[in-house]
Amino acid sequence: MKPDFNLLDAFKIFDTRGTGNVSVQDIVQALKENMNFHEFTHDDVFLLFRRHDSNCDGKLNFQEFSNCMLPVSKEYAALLTDRPDFYMSRGVPTSQFFNFETRNQLRQLFAALFKCERSCEALRVSLRQRPYFNIKQAFSFMDTDMDGYLNLEDFRDFLANNGFYATERELLGIMHKCDRNNNGRITFSEFVDEFQPKLGGI
């Protein structure tokens, strides 16, 4: 909602070499040097990549980066997708992109993303350590109509049957995290990928 924020300039902060994609090291370096943000680890950035690197090439292209930055709510996302760049075309140094408050909120967004991914990873490791947890049985238990995939209704029913009544936005957030190809369905392989520890934890 910040009037000076746009995705093109945000991407350019990290794509300092102008290659059209950013690596883990690009993110680490830009957060420290361009954003003056240091409260994270290399593993935090790696986990973020595992979430958003949809083609698994070890880099984030502009579309993958945008998916990371955009709100889940379509009405808010639409406000950002068509915004032109401002700073990049005016030759402003990347360390000066956006005003103070916008830069501060961008740092807060990364801090929240890192915290979320750390929490998810801790839960993945905890589940893996449970002797009676079986990922295939968990998927089958949620796939009540046995069609081989999970959709938004499956998650809604599963959560409601276990005493948690999720909002539409919360359900869309779950789908956003798990549905790697954004087709509205979560396959068993996508389900396994979400629940498998990413840092080799036991």
Confidence at residue 94, expressed as pLDDT on a 0 to 100 scale: 93
What is the fold, at CATH topology level, of the domain defined by 7-123?
Recoverin; domain 1 (1.10.238)
- Name residues of the chain where pLDDT drops below 50: 201-202
13-21: list long-range contacts, CB under 8 Å, 24+ apart. 13/94, 13/97, 14/65, 16/94, 20/61, 20/62, 21/59, 21/60, 21/61, 21/62
Q: What is the per-residue pLDDT across 67-115, written as a single tens digit (0 to 9) for each?
A: 999 988 888 889 899 899 999 999 999 999 999 999 999 999 999 999 9
Tell me the C-alpha distance between 52 and 76, whole Å. 19
User: The pTM is what?
Assistant: 0.87
Q: What is the CATH number of domain 134-195?
A: 1.10.238.10
Q: In the chain, where are the structural domains located? A: 7-123, 134-195
| Identical topology for domains 7-123 and 134-195 | yes
